[in-house]
Structure 1
């Protein structure tokens, strides 16, 4: 059985985080809270991050215990099934504090994965 590349899910996570960051550039939390379109775009980006994280290997996740992988995967379920409980400040904190750490990890892993695939 062929091992599936980690490049697509890592790339999807990075791209989604980049788009979230672009949506929040020069925006205050009050502006974010008042703009339902922007909130929906950020929530969709977080759903993509959540779903793509499920496609990462246990080995990769074990290398980065600083990332709460279960919560990363679980936020997608909350957004899909309990969406009315998601307050703007929660999404704001996630985007501002949590996603940059995840992005850094995914960029490191993507670089290593691309290097590994070039050797093979």
Structure 2
């Protein structure tokens, strides 16, 4: 989820639990997920086998209102979701001296609904 998107996540089936308290799930694509719940049950840590880091998960009381709406479609929406996802999740823009807003200002005007997917992919 980002400020401009709410997309369905992956599905997985529970396969067991480790002595450390982690619950193991296997995704439809054979990805192994290890979820370690916090003692209070309001948060958890997610680890994907083979990744170098973990993600902190927070329990929400309900899905955000924006998730009830149909996801926007088209090249413009795809660009906006791509850009916003990096805006909210990529931590190294400052360290790499990247002005992410300037990147958007440069490339967003080139996007138009109806453009071929290959052209949008190349732009992204």
- Report TM bin, short chain: under 0.3
TM-score normalised according to structure 2 size:
0.26
Higher radius of gyration, 1 or 2: 2
